[in-house]
Amino acid sequence: MSEPANLQNDLRLETSIPAASLESILCTEELLRRQWRPPDYEKENSALVALACALADSPGTILQTLADKVLDVLQADSAGLSLLTKEERRFYWPAIAGAWRLHIGGGTPRDFGPCGDVLDRNIPMLFTHWERRYPYLSIAMPLAEEGLLVPFYVNGKAVGTIWAIAHNDRRKFDVEDLRLLESMGRFASAAYQAVEFIEDLKLEFAAREKAEMELRELTVGLEAQVLIRTAELDQRNNQLADARARLAEEKLCLERSEAFLAEGQRLSRTGTFSWRVATDEITLSEELYRIFEVDPGVPVTLELIVTRVHPEDIRSVHNMMGRARAAVSDFEFEHRLKMPDQSVRYLHVVAHGSHDRDGQPEYIGAVQDITERRLSEEALSKVRFELAHMTRVTSLGALTASIAHEINQPLSGISSNASAALRWIRREKPDLGEAVASLEQIIADSHRASDIITSLRAMFKKDTNERSPVDINDLIPTVLTIVRHDLQRKGVELKTVLKAELPAIAGDKVQLQQVLLNLVVNATEAMHSVQHRVLTVQSELSKRDMVHVSIKDTGTGVDPSDLDRIFKPLFTTKVHGMGFGLSICHSIIESHGGRIWVSTGVGGGSIFQFELPVMQGAR
């Protein structure tokens, strides 16, 4: 392909512009030091399924599909591929997504450009403002703030690069982006090789058909040309033999690619399947046989699959299959298996619905065994929950000890002075002066105790100058992660409605987390006696320009007579409750300059709400 004229013109000017050194635009080592975000396996698996579907449905779109998915998964501004031309003197861009899409078909020189540097060193590289070294790239607008490139291999040889670009400093690539780019590159490489094999097979079959047609034409020729035609036929046969040998070799390569794909499924514990709805015909990959612990020779039916489903998940699986039969669409869900040895496995299922040649509904999907990840998450959730509980208990113990120590001294003084006053009054000749002095001392000690309590209360109302900016939308997911396992175990459906880009508040993150945790736990406990359990957590900006948070449950609700005293200390409706939780929440919210209240939901249940003032200068 030829490049856009603007890049060609800029290439003629590159020698007149002083170029920066390569090391001055590299920041690969900085990338390795950056804090990276946790993996999003669901999004990654969805991208791999999209690439697999592109390979199955429209092989010619595999490179553009890769560019689209790199743009989506890495949250980049532009993404694409650079491939070497046949003479290997230039790179051309066959697929681009995002802001640079208009540059499809363009390219860069092999010996002077970021793609050439990546292939020369055969390592991933992160560039910043590469137009400082390669001036011709300044014509490609918008400019690249950062460009992350990894080699693209075909048959073990680096023939190009896959790249993602951030056009401003809002996006900083990290190690997770590098892992995703290399993972998708490996998958796309195998798919690209398969597409090349398919195209070569088509050419060989076309050549064979052409040869056979020419052979039929030769047989109807004149007898005088038989010897000549026979010689030509021998030549054609030799060509066909060579073609068959090449086909056999390419078949072997295709089998190797399939073996690589199977090994990739085994390593990622991800299997693929197809389901023809009309006949319930199911085809499983080798990895899925291993996941379901079914012998490869055993015919697979829906009934056999259902026998592996955990009894508590059978209803949800049947409901999902019913919806899939009723209307062809994409679906995604998780469920558990109960294996013959009574062990439990967790599966994540993603499927794409389509129609076969006969117009019948068909699904192609992937199943990933996420047991280890789920068990790790549950263990982490348990540890976090226990840590939060211990923090609350420890804080309460420390507070109790502090109050007891501070109050004990003036109380001891009051007791001693009261005894002294009684002795002065009970004397045969009461000494009223001494008694009055003791009573005055009692008054002084009582004032001292009052001052101690006032100072303790002030301690709970710290000066906001010591607080830091807090994004309430960051705290809510953290707290919900702690209780997620408990919610699932108790059958509570969780809904979150978080208003994007809420302004920050000034607060103590730990105290506000404790408020959210207390309210969520209370809401969960309030639904233990009802069948329909839904917990809704919502954040928004109130009409008073304050950050507003609500926790709504579908439980039994709060008795109207208790609404005015539910935040009072020592008041509780729980059998084993102490009456401190909501009182502490009330104190924390008020110390942050906000307010907290409770109301009854429209359809029942309770709604606990609180508002916090926006941090000065945050809007």
Q: Encode pLDDT of 273-309 as tens digits.
A: 898 888 888 888 888 888 988 888 788 888 888 888 9
Average pLDDT, the chain: 82
Query: What is the model's pLDDT at position 560?
Result: 80
Query: What is the model's pLDDT at position 71?
Result: 94
Strand pairing partners for 282? 275
Q: Are 275 and 281 in contact (CB under 8 A)?
A: yes
Residues 51, 187: Cα–Cα separation, whole Å: 8
| Residue 216 parent element (H or E) | helix 175-219
Range list of β-strands (E), 18-145: 78-84, 90-98, 107-109, 125-128
Query: What is the model's pLDDT at position 298?
Result: 81
Query: What is the model's pLDDT at position 155?
Result: 86
CA dihedral 28, 32, 38, 40 (to 10 degrees): 30
Strand pairing partners for 599? 607
186 compared with 594, residue with greater pLDDT: 594
Q: Which two tokens stand for residue 39?
A: 């993996």
pLDDT in tens, 551-588: 999 998 887 877 777 787 765 666 445 556 788 888 89
Which stretches within 300-370 are classed as H helix? 302-308, 314-326
pLDDT in tens, 174-231: 999 999 998 888 887 877 776 665 555 455 445 555 645 665 676 666 666 768 877 8
Peptide bond preceding 142 in cis form (omega within 30 of 0): yes
**Which of 27-31, 171-175, 228-232, 609-613 is the least confident region?**
228-232
Query: What is the model's pLDDT at position 486?
Result: 83
| Correct CATH for 269-369 of 3.30.70.20, 3.40.718.10, 3.40.1160.10, 3.30.450.20 | 3.30.450.20
- The band of 143, judged by pLDDT with boundaries at 50, 70 and 90, is very high
Mean pLDDT to the nearest integer, 53-58: 77
CATH architecture of 468-613: 2-Layer Sandwich (3.30)
- The band of 453, judged by pLDDT with boundaries at 50, 70 and 90, is low
| Residue 274 parent element (H or E) | strand 270-276
CB atoms within 10 A of CB 545: 11
Query: What is the model's pLDDT at position 463?
Result: 45
- Predicted confidence (pLDDT) at residue 457 exceeds the cutoff of 70: no
CA dihedral 467, 472, 475, 476 (to 10 degrees): 150
Query: What is the model's pLDDT at position 200?
Result: 52
Please report, as a single letter, which amino acid is at residue 13.
Answer: L
What DSSP character marks residue 492?
P
Q: Which two tokens stand for residue 57?
A: 């449905």
Query: What is the model's pLDDT at position 168?
Result: 93
- Predicted confidence (pLDDT) at residue 462 exceeds the cutoff of 50: no
Q: Are 393 and 300 in contact (CB under 8 A)?
A: no
- Predicted confidence (pLDDT) at residue 2 exceeds the cutoff of 50: no
Q: How many CA atoms lie within 13 A of 580 on its CB side?
A: 10
For 5-192, CATH gives: 3.30.450.40
What pTM was computed for the model? 0.35
